[in-house]
Amino acid sequence: MSKVVRRRWASGFDGQTKADRRSCEYEAYVPDPLAGRRFALDGDVAADVADAEAAIARLNVEAAALIDTEALARVLLRAEAVASSRIEGLDIGARRLLRAEAGRSLDDAPPDVTAQEVLGNIDAMVYGIEQIGSEDEITVDLLLEIHRRLLAGTRLDPYAGRFRDVQNWIGGSSYNPCSAAYVPPPPEIVADLITDLCSFCNADELPTVAQAAIAHAQFETIHPFVDGNGRTGRALIHLVLRRRGLALPVLPPVSLILATWAKDYVTALGGTRYRGPATSKAAHVGTNRWIAQFATACTRAVADAADFERRAQDIQDSWRSRMPALRKGSAAELLLYVLPGTPVITVQSAAALVGRTYPAANNAVAQLVEAGVLKQITIGRRNRAYEAPEIIAAFGDLERQLASPHGDTRTSPPARRVPHRPR
């Protein structure tokens, strides 16, 4: 039975305002376990789930008929990471992110803290989905490693890859949970709740999209980390979809839609935090409302992905029309094929992408520059790179569907002081 537990917060007397320095009683929410629980989907919700699953399956089938499936998968994963990061307040445009990504292999590329955090999100998602295939298990260790990679090299690196041992909260003051919008479970029960969540994720009784929706909601309810909960929780969505064999290899960028619906997203998640037995009307209504919204987001995400896919195909066709004499299997022809997934390149990265020598790649890049497919840019002080402006514009259009970030997760600021534990 879900419930709240009352705890006391003792002020540390180091806040900036009187409200920050308050001591108070607060309520932390403890959700029901998921493993073995029975869920009943209303008829219209079950239909929404079926539509979402059909759309995701269709995206993966049709992708192979248009642009390079691997390239599309990279683009959509990058868009998903940008959107997931945007929800958490990490705002970065397409061109800036792509240039930072290309600059990783260059010695004097200037550091971009925001870009590095978003790239860390991409790295964490890539790692996670590479570990999960059909019928593989989602484990606690896998979630911890995804989180570790997400926060690696950031100011929160000391907290990466381990569950919180302090109380956290959402909204209100940065110094206490007295005015928080939501207070997650106490830290001492987090590990058990995540273990239960993984058991639920490894079962097959529910439709896949419904299972992913419930798993994500439970993860966000637990909020097991000091920071990075939202991004890790949205990565979990794709682990569930891949484990059930629904999103192989192309991921629907559902965070694009959740970011656009930020207020409704947060409200619907809150509706799953009922009090009382799991068989109650409140539990049923809140869970079904969230599953319906999530399923609709998945369907919309597939539509957005398909629109990008068609636009990328049109761009590729335009490129080929400018270079009618391209020899089949040449480095230039191969580069045209993979550019939608990697629209900012160096000659070295181009050679690796197409499996050709540096001179062959250099010649191919020169051909594409002459045809107006690529444009030379500079990354760092002296590093030459090349970008495909039309694909970047298409990716930017996809990214502009995102809404402003909504809210943030608060904990006692770990970088400034040792958090007080509630008594």
Of 133, 143, 101, 138, nearest to 119 by C-alpha is: 101
Please name which of 33, 4, 39, 421 lies closest in space to residue 192, comparing C-alpha atoms.
33
* CA dist., res. 240 & res. 238, Å (int): 5
Per-chain mean pLDDT for the chain: 86
* Count of other CB atoms within 10 angstroms of residue 397: 14
pLDDT digits (tens, 9 = 90+) for 394-422: 877 776 654 433 334 444 443 333 333 33
Question: What pLDDT is recorded for position 419?
Answer: 38
Q: Is the peptide bond before 249 cis (omega within 30 degrees of 0)?
A: yes
Q: What is the mean pLDDT of residues 245-249?
A: 82
Confidence at residue 396, expressed as pLDDT on a 0 to 100 scale: 77
pLDDT in tens, 266-324: 899 999 999 999 999 999 999 999 999 999 999 988 888 888 888 888 998 999 999 98
What CA–CA distance (Å, rounded) separates 168 from 224? 9
Mean pLDDT of 382-387: 86
How is residue 318 annotated by DSSP?
Answer: H
Q: What H or E segment, with its residue span, contains residue 397?
A: helix 389-399
What is residue 290's predicted lDDT score, i.e. its pLDDT? Answer: 97
Query: What are 11-58's pLDDT values in tens digits?
Result: 876 777 888 888 999 999 999 999 999 999 999 999 999 999 999 998
Q: What is the average pLDDT across 173-183?
A: 92
User: What pLDDT does residue 407 have?
Assistant: 35
| pLDDT computed for residue 400 by the predictor | 64
64 pLDDT band, cuts 50/70/90, is low
Domains detected in the chain: 3-306 (1.10.3290.10), 308-399 (1.10.10.10)
Q: Does pLDDT of 61 surpass 60?
A: yes
Computed from CA positions of residues 72, 110, 125, 257, in that sequence, does the dihedral angle turn out positive or negative?
Answer: negative
Tens of pLDDT, residues 333-370: 999 988 988 899 999 999 999 999 999 999 999 999 99
Q: Quick one: which H or E segment has residue 29? A: strand 24-30
Q: How far is CA 147 from CA 312, 390, 404, in A?
A: 32, 34, 24
What are the CA-CA distances from residue 151 to residues 120, 164, 303 (Å)?
7, 14, 31
If you average pLDDT over residues 184-194, what whole number do you get? 98
Bridge partners (DSSP) listed for residue 312: none
Longest pairwise C-alpha distance within the chain: 75
Distance CA 300, CA 318 (A): 27
Q: What mean pLDDT comes out for the span 208-236? A: 95
**Which two tokens mark 210?**
């419904």
